[in-house]
Each structure stands twice: as C-alpha cells, then as structure tokens.
Amino acid sequence: MLSSYFGPGSIVTQGTSPSFVAAVTQSVSLLVASGKTELSYVDEVLESLKTLGPYFVIAPGLALAHAKPSDSVLAPGMALLRLDEPVISGSANDPVSLIFSFCSPNASEHMEMLGDFGQLMSTDQVMNNLLNASALSVIEDILLKNAL
C-alpha cells in the first residue's frame, strides 16, 4: 500500500516557495521530519540535483526528488509538497507544483512503493486532481485512501 510509505505530516500544501531548490529541500525535509531518513539525505539529493540537473522532474508539473539509496535512510518513505504557485526547475516539464520526494535504504525496498506510485499517477485524472486540489484533505484522500 502506497499510504504506508507516507509518514505523519509528510504531505504539505502551501502557497509558494522561493525557488525549485528550496521546494526540493523542503520536500525532502518532510522525509526527515516524518522519521524516514536522517538529515544528511537532504544534502545527497541536492548534490545529485547539482550534478545531474532537474532529471527528477518526470512529468508535466511533477518532480520526484531522490538520491541513491544510502546509509542515511532509515526506511522507504515518500513525501509531497504541493505548491499553489508553481516554481521553475529548468526542465521541459516546467512549471512544477507537485514536489514529491522519496528515499530508500537499499536498491530493492522501494520497488513496490514506486510501482504503486506509478500505477496511481498513471490513472486518469489523478495528476489533475492533485494539481487542482483545493484542500490538503483532498490530496490525502487520493494518496492515502486511494479515493479519486
């Protein structure tokens, strides 16, 4: 179940963010705050963004921030920062409003999580509903209760 990977307080909506890097930092910090990883993972993600560019902006309006599996990670986890005002990442999929992040302690434990995530996000209207959701509860229903 996808919902089991979202720790307490790991889904946040807010008006805007100063930059894409700030939004990524905040999203990954939600993984830290919800107990999925240690703080050093934030730097690992930012380093990877610096080296590889915005490669994790994988669909129009959506980023999936992550770094390689690492010792900083305590458990497979996901988090989401949804912005009302999108930010610019430099990707062809700009502007970005949905900044997901994930972490995995090794190269296998997140396979099921990403499989479930991919299936949900490929479902008609899920992306639009997340982009346009008027309240946090609507987003939580989609991600945690699979209610579209």
Partner 1 sequence: MLIYAVCGAGIGTSVLLKSNAERALSMLGIEAEVRAVSIDEARGADKMAQVILATPEILDQLAGIPAEVIAINNIFDLGELGEKLKATLS
Contacts to partner 1 by CB under 8 A: 48, 52-56, 58-60, 62, 64, 66-69, 91-93, 102, 104, 107, 110-111, 114-115, 117-119, 121-122, 127
The nearest distance, CB 88 to partner 1, in angstroms, is 15
- Least separation, in Å, of the C-beta of 93 and partner 1? 7
Three-state secondary-structure class, residue 56: coil
Among 36, 66, 82, 110, which one carries the catalytic annotation?
66
Whole-angstrom Cα distance, residue 95 to residue 84? 11
Which residue from 50, 35, 28, 36 is spatially nearest to 99, judged by alpha carbons?
A: 28
**CB closer to partner 1 out of 49 and 87:** 49
Least separation in angstroms between residue 15's CB and partner 1 is 25
Please choose, from the candidates 96, 61, 64, the residue with its C-alpha nearest in 3D space to the C-alpha of residue 80. 64
Which tokens in the block code for residue 36?
């999925």
